[in-house]
Structure formats: structure tokens, C-alpha cells
Amino acid sequence: MKDEAKKPDGGFVLVHGWALVAAWQAVRATILRPVDLRVWLATFEAVARRCAAREGCEPEYRVQELVTLTGCARRTVMESLARLRASGLVDVRREGVTHCGTLTELAFCDSRDVNDALALVANHERRVPIPRRLLAYLARAKKPVLLATAFGHLLRCMYLRGELCSSGGLCKAGWVAEVFGVSERSVKRARAELIEVGLLIRSSTPQGVLNRWGQGLRWNLFWKAAKAAVVSPPPRENHVGVSPPRRTGNSLSGSGNQQPRRVVRHGAFAESTRGLGHVGADDLRSVERLRVLFARATKAGLVRPSQADALKFAGAAAHARRVATKNPAGLFAKLVRSGLWSHITLEDEARGCRIANQLLPDRTAEAPRSVLPFRAKHESVDTGPECRELVRSKVLASLAEAGRVPANTDPLSAVLG
């Protein structure tokens, strides 16, 4: 299916087919940049705007017009015009615009890439009618592959027959990719974008023709750019003031209806379900307070009501007082709650054995007993004369009860036999 019209809506401009191919090959050879192609297309639109000028009026061209058409910065447009002038594609001056008329006028006309690409385009000598609305759209396109895809489909699907513009033809994405040296997948993606905006229209194509020559496509000669959404105006300023505070008899400096400040306690805190509750620094210096903490720990299952666990509990308190410099209560609580008894040293046990027996229930009136754990062969701790005397008396008492030695016997001689 083809569309024919004397001219597309908005008019059209004529561009040589070889110019489309050569301009893109200059970008591939880094002679030009992709933005230069947009400025080059904008120069055709600038000339077309002055085609209906009254006779005798001399047109004037300004850089600001190209800035508006491309959406680029003024400095970028100036640099692009300098590169385009050096390549021979176009020469823009204030009094007029001069486009390249023949291929030999280009500075890179002898390029092998240009000749190889033109060999794939059978009718590249003809002039291609490009709708001005499409020209304005491409002048603001920021994807270079979109320009290459549009150039390829213009060469295959846009013709000037007599005084009529004819739109319609067959075009394979692989052919466009081969001529312009881009990815076939990128061509299909760019073509889908042109179809989505309505510039290209897909035609029904038999499968045999589709496999050999490509998809049937035609340019929309009556396309109009979608209008930008109108932004609603900002809401009118509201001059409604804030109501003043309600006057009451309460005073901010008074104490009525005010919550008391929460007392901050230093140390280790825990809920009642954790067993120990609050542990303060003074709790580690008092036997009575340690006894209360030991009772809580026993009830919570952190320790057992035995001499061994009482020694560990007292040793943890001694270790916390000896090691900690800022928060001994917090270290003590961590040792008990997590069961980190391996951090307790022999020195800590020696200090804690004096009060360990007093932590047990119903034994506060008894004399303190030594509950020393097993020690390694070469380890020795000075526990003091009182503790050593207590150990000797206990050994003698146990041997006397067993009937192995008579009463009032020296413990050392009894052990050595």
C-alpha cells in the first residue's frame, strides 16, 4: 500500500541520496559527530522556512535558529558548523546557506567506506523528498541509530514521481544495518520507535516477499507531532491564617499535668525475664547485693544453687571489677547472662572464693569455705594463709570421717602416708 500526495502536510525538502549515506559514513570515520548530522538536517529546515519569502527580501540566517531546532547549546552548534564546513557538506553564513551539490565536493569523497556503502544503494543519485515534520523530528533525535534507520527507510520508501510524493516500499533491517554499519537489532528497535510515534506505518506483506525483500512500510505523509501535555497552573495562594492557641489556665512553667522525667540509671539493664534485672556498680562491692543478684540468677536458671556456680558468680564479679574501666556492671551482667565463665582467671577465683559460700541460701552464718577448682600441674595461686589452713582442715576432716586416720592428725603426714 502506498500514499501519494502533492506534498506532505507541512511541506518537504529534497536531499540527495548519496548525501545521506556519505554524511553517516563521515560520522563512522569520526570526521563528524552525531550531533553534526542533526545540525546539518536543521539547515535544510532553515532554508525551507524562507522559500516563500517575498521577492526582493534578503534572508538572514542566525545560529540561534539552529539552536532552537536542535535543542543543543549555542557553543555545540557553532562547533558543528565548523566541522560541517570543513567536510564540505554545508556552508552556513549570515547571508545564506550552501549545501553540497555533488559528491566530488566532499572532502572525504574518496573514502573507501563511502564508495562501498553507495555501491549497495542502487538509486543513490536521485533526490529524496523528506517531510519537514520528519526533518524537525530527526533534528532533535538524540539516538544516532535512529538517524541511520530513518535514512535507510527514506532511501527505500520515499520517492518523488513527477510532482507527487510517493511513500511506500519494502525494506529489510539487515540491508539498513549493512549500508550504515550498525547492528540489525538496533535498527529493528529504532524502526519500532518510529512506528510507535506514527511516522512509519507497517503494511501487510506476504511471507515470501517478507523473507526476500523485507517488511512493507510507508511514511506517514500526514503525521503531526503529539502536543505536549498542558501543565495545570499552580493552586492559588491560600491566605487563611492559622488559628491562635487556645488560652487555658495552665502554665508552661508549672508542674500541673506534666509527666515526671524518667530517671536514667547507669549500669546494665534488662527485663525481669532476663533474671538479673538492673545491675549497678555498687552491687559488685556489697555481699548482700551480690546475694540478691545470685538469687535472681538462680531463679532464672542462669546458675545453679551450688558451690561451683557460686564461685563462678563471685569470680565474675571480681573479674568485672578488675578488668572493666568504664562499666564493670555491664561486663558482669554480660558474663552471667551469656555464661562466659571461661573469661574468669585463677586470680579472679581466688578473690571470689572468700565470698562465694556466703551467696548460697541458709549458709551466711557459716565460715567461708574454699571452693577452688582443679588446676593445671604447673599453675599455682597464692590464696593466703587463711585459705590454705581451711584446705588442710577440710582434708583432715574428710580422712577422719572415712576412718583412715585418727583425729587430730597432721593433714600433710596423713596424705603422704
Residues 210-242: tens digit of each pLDDT: 888 898 999 999 998 877 555 667 766 666 666
pLDDT at 408: 58
pLDDT at 128: 92
Q: For residue 172, is pLDDT > 70?
A: yes
Lowest mean pLDDT, pick from 28-32, 161-165, 176-180: 161-165
Q: Which residues contact 190 (CB under 8 A, 6 or more apart)?
A: 143, 145, 146, 148, 149, 150
Phi-psi domain of 358 (left: phi exceeds 0; alpha: psi -120 through 50; beta: other): alpha
- CA distances for 356 relative to 282, 352, 360, 361, angstroms: 18, 6, 8, 11
Lowest mean pLDDT, pick from 17-31, 208-222, 257-271, 289-303: 257-271
The strand pair at 215-219 and 200-203 is best described as: antiparallel
pLDDT at 379: 43
pLDDT at 237: 65
Average pLDDT over the chain, rounded to an integer:
80
pLDDT at 40: 94
Q: For residue 176, is pLDDT > 60?
A: yes
pLDDT at 401: 67
Q: For residue 130, is pLDDT > 70?
A: yes
- CA distances for 66 relative to 73, 80, 223, angstroms: 10, 11, 23
Q: For residue 74, is pLDDT > 90?
A: yes
CA 207 to chain CA mean position, Å: 46
- Residue 280 CA to residue 333 CA, distance in Å, equals 10
Identify which has the larger pLDDT, 42 or 413.
Answer: 42
- Residue 236 CA to residue 243 CA, distance in Å, equals 20
Identify which has the larger pLDDT, 169 or 378.
Answer: 169
pLDDT at 415: 43
Lowest mean pLDDT, pick from 34-48, 97-111, 193-207, 217-231: 217-231
Q: Taking residues 390-402, report their average pLDDT.
A: 67
pLDDT at 411: 47
Identify which has the larger pLDDT, 166 or 240.
Answer: 166
Closest Cα to residue 22, out of 137, 104, 144? Answer: 104
User: DSSP 3-state assignment of 271?
Assistant: coil
pLDDT at 228: 59
Q: For residue 373, is pLDDT > 70?
A: no
Identify which has the larger pLDDT, 37 or 290.
Answer: 37
13 exposed, middle or buried (CB, 10 Å; 0-12, 13-18, 19+)?
buried
The strand pair at 3-5 and 164-167 is best described as: antiparallel
Q: How confident is the model at residue 188 (pLDDT cuts 50, 70, 90)?
A: very high
Q: For residue 412, is pLDDT > 50?
A: no
pLDDT at 270: 43
Lowest mean pLDDT, pick from 75-89, 101-115, 133-147, 361-375: 361-375
pLDDT in tens, 305-358: 888 888 888 888 888 888 888 888 888 888 888 888 888 888 888 777 877 877
- Per-range mean pLDDT, top range of 51-60, 129-138, 408-417: 129-138
Q: Which residues contact 350 (CB under 8 A, 6 or more apart)?
A: 372, 381, 382, 383, 387
Assess contact for 27 and 39: CB atoms under 8 A.
no
The strand pair at 12-16 and 127-131 is best described as: antiparallel
Q: Nearest 5 degrees, angle CA 78-CA 83-CA 88?
A: 125
pLDDT at 362: 62
pLDDT at 375: 42
pLDDT in tens, 288-315: 888 888 888 888 888 888 888 888 888 8
Q: How confident is the model at residue 263 (pLDDT cuts 50, 70, 90)?
A: low
Q: Percentage of the chain surpassing pLDDT 70?
A: 76
- Residue 17 CA to residue 152 CA, distance in Å, equals 10
Q: For residue 252, is pLDDT > 60?
A: no
